[in-house]
Structure 1
Amino acid sequence: MGEPAVLVTGATGNTGRVVVEQLLTAGRSVRAAGRTTESVRRAFGDRVEAVALDFTDESTWHDAFTGVEQMFLMRPPQLGKPKREMIPALEYARKLGITQIVFLSLQGAEKNRVVPHAAIEAWLRESGAAWTFVRASFFHQNLSTVHVSDVRDRNEIVVPAGRGATAFVDAEDVGAVAAVAILNPDDYRNTALTVTGNEALGYARIAEILSRELGRNIAYNRPGLLRYLRHARRQLGLPWGMVMVTAAIYTTARFGMAAGLTDTARTVLGRDPIGFAEFAHRERRVWGPEE
């Protein structure tokens, strides 16, 4: 018999998709978990074992966790209280035999107790499972997903980051690093990997790059925290938990705490990380307007 399948949570997301594809390319079997089995099958067809997983619904846990030893763990953005909403499921997974968890965390989570990732990291350290924290800096993809309507429809970037620089990273690189940790568990056992791109950019510079790529002016007027909170709720429709987490992340950038760069991507992957300009060119169609 071959190796047990690897459980990938958040399999249809930006990072989870990359993890799935990297593992399949390496010849591993994948149990891909999403909100529904249908969404997983639409993404991957019959190349994976599709399961539905809801960390807050105990009836989904058995099928997701049984018979796997390794897991890529992603916190669903809407779950802002992990001690109540996620850790019971993770404790169940440990009882069923999961021995390695590679967790998609956040740059600086070890110093920022406000973010939910910190509580999950703390639990993992005491869980008895081998863990790897893949602490990602701010994703390029946040501008093509969460904030896509701001750029596409309103020609602006609305984040309360002031003049602070942010160490952006591409989900392609983060997912690839996570897959390496799964494929080489002994090399990354009980290790925290902070994954960034190779440049820290302020949002004024991000707006310049997008303006050039899209052929129209994208503005960044350094909005304050209160404007962001209202905008995130009313215009972006984010749940309050996600509003507060993102506000905390942008505030760290405002105070100059999000610009730290690492060479983790280059060291682990053996290549340069994807820069924001390359990402903007690759994904330019998502910011329309539609043709």
Structure 2
Amino acid sequence: MGQTMTEVLLVTGATGTVGQHAVAALADRDVAVKSGVRNPKTVSTEIADAGAVVAFDFTKPETWGDALVDVDGVFLVRPPAVSEADINSFVDAAARVGVDHVAYLSTLGAEKNVLIPHHRIEKHIMGTDIQYTLLRSSFFMQNLLEVHRPDIVERNEIFVPAGRGETSFVDARDIGEAAAVVLTESGHTNRAYDLTGPEALDYGTVATICSDVLDRPITYPNPSLLAFARRMRRRGKPLGFIALMCGIYTTARLGLAARVTEDSRRLLGRPPRTMRAFIEDYAAEFQADS
């Protein structure tokens, strides 16, 4: 354990997939946590109990000042609908008011993929005077629960167009804990970490694990991109979201999502959670609503 370096930490997207776990992990450390959320009235008890809750919206610069008062470090999570211009403007505002350190949740391979916003946001952060840590994350296990739950619950299938490609799935809880480590311990500034789970799995294997843990047959039909897009459209998902998902699964399809690193283990001081552990922990949520 290094010495605690940061006194007040702002978590953006504090109610999100990763943000909520970052808040929980930071609450266990000797720091003051500020949870930045669009509507402070709607936060869970866990978030409210972890520290101050402040109104914060990337698209409303008038909320940034209060959110950044006395803040030493920021865990920066970009909501998919927010433009990179808004994120970069916020980073500039944080630099102006003297924030020391930004830990940015990026994506695996962002340094090489010039087509994605994460690439340009990383470059922008590195161009400021703020010390940075880039957390380049693999695909969240939680996406199975948040995006694909209807297929798993209603049809007993994992319906994603990933072909036979493998993915080094990572648990969002581990990313939240890793964010707490890099923001509160020394030795992590101006560095990038590639955060993956302990193994790369194809979706057929994920379906087998789900079948085993949930005690009912879950299949992986290996749909085409077109079949996937059609089903998502019928569910009323916006075209931009569908295009993004198709892009992500094409990465897996091409075998580009399978890299496994030791960075998670090094930051956490333990092996990252497995897919089986994730499904076991959330088994009740993969059951049909009674």
Shorter-chain TM-score bucket reads over 0.9
Q: Distance in 1 between matches of 2:131 and 2:237?
A: 34
**Residue identity opposite 1:268 in structure 2:** L
**Which residue pairs with 1:213 in the alignment?**
213
Unaligned runs of 5+ in 1: none
TM-score, scaled relative to structure 1: 0.93
- Native 8 Å contact 2:6 2:73 kept in 1: no
Q: Distance in 1 between matches of 2:266 and 2:49?
A: 33
Deviations 1:94-148 (A, max 9, x none): 2122121001111111122232211211111112211111111111100011111
1:8-23 counterparts in 2 under 5 A? 8-23=11-26
Structure 2 residue 35 is the aligned partner of structure 1 residue 32: yes
**Which residue pairs with 1:247 in the alignment?**
246
- Assess, with a 3 A threshold, how the Cα gap between structure 1 residues 272 and 106 changes in structure 2: closer, same or farther: same
- Native 8 Å contact 1:115 1:248 kept in 2: no
**Which residue pairs with 1:180 in the alignment?**
181
Q: Distance in 1 between matches of 2:198 and 2:59?
A: 37
Q: Distance in 2 between matches of 1:45 and 1:8?
A: 13
- The number of residue pairs the alignment matches comes to 286
**Residue identity opposite 1:137 in structure 2:** S
- Native 8 Å contact 2:6 2:184 kept in 1: no
**Residue identity opposite 2:133 in structure 1:** T
Name the Cα RMSD after superposition: 1.7
**Which residue pairs with 2:132 in the alignment?**
131
Deviations 1:134-193 (A, max 9, x none): 111111100011111111122221211100000011111111111110012x41111110
**Which residue pairs with 2:55 in the alignment?**
52
**Residue identity opposite 1:90 in structure 2:** V
Q: Distance in 2 between matches of 1:171 and 1:271?
A: 15
**Which residue pairs with 2:148 in the alignment?**
147
- Assess, with a 3 A threshold, how the Cα gap between structure 1 residues 242 and 43 changes in structure 2: closer, same or farther: farther
Q: Distance in 2 between matches of 1:215 and 1:249?
A: 29
- Native 8 Å contact 1:41 1:50 kept in 2: no
- Native 8 Å contact 1:169 1:274 kept in 2: yes
CA offset at residue 49 of structure 1?
A: 0.7
Structure 2 residue 114 is the aligned partner of structure 1 residue 113: yes
SS, match of residue 20 in structure 1: helix
CA offset at residue 46 of structure 1?
A: 4.0
**Residue identity opposite 1:14 in structure 2:** T
SS, match of residue 227 in structure 1: helix
**Which residue pairs with 1:264 in the alignment?**
263
**Which residue pairs with 1:104 in the alignment?**
105
**Residue identity opposite 1:142 in structure 2:** N
SS, match of residue 187 in structure 2: helix
- Assess, with a 3 A threshold, how the Cα gap between structure 1 residues 41 and 216 changes in structure 2: closer, same or farther: closer
SS, match of residue 64 in structure 1: helix
- Native 8 Å contact 2:207 2:220 kept in 1: yes
TM-score, scaled relative to structure 2: 0.93
Deviations 1:64-97 (A, max 9, x none): 1222120000011222x312x3222222222122
SS, match of residue 151 in structure 2: helix
SS, match of residue 142 in structure 2: helix
Deviations 1:184-222 (A, max 9, x none): 2x4111111001111100001111111122222222111
**Residue identity opposite 1:263 in structure 2:** E
- Assess, with a 3 A threshold, how the Cα gap between structure 1 residues 47 and 175 changes in structure 2: closer, same or farther: closer
SS, match of residue 217 in structure 2: coil
**Residue identity opposite 2:188 in structure 1:** Y
Q: Distance in 1 between matches of 2:147 and 2:279?
A: 15
**Residue identity opposite 1:57 in structure 2:** K
SS, match of residue 188 in structure 1: coil
- Assess, with a 3 A threshold, how the Cα gap between structure 1 residues 3 and 125 changes in structure 2: closer, same or farther: closer
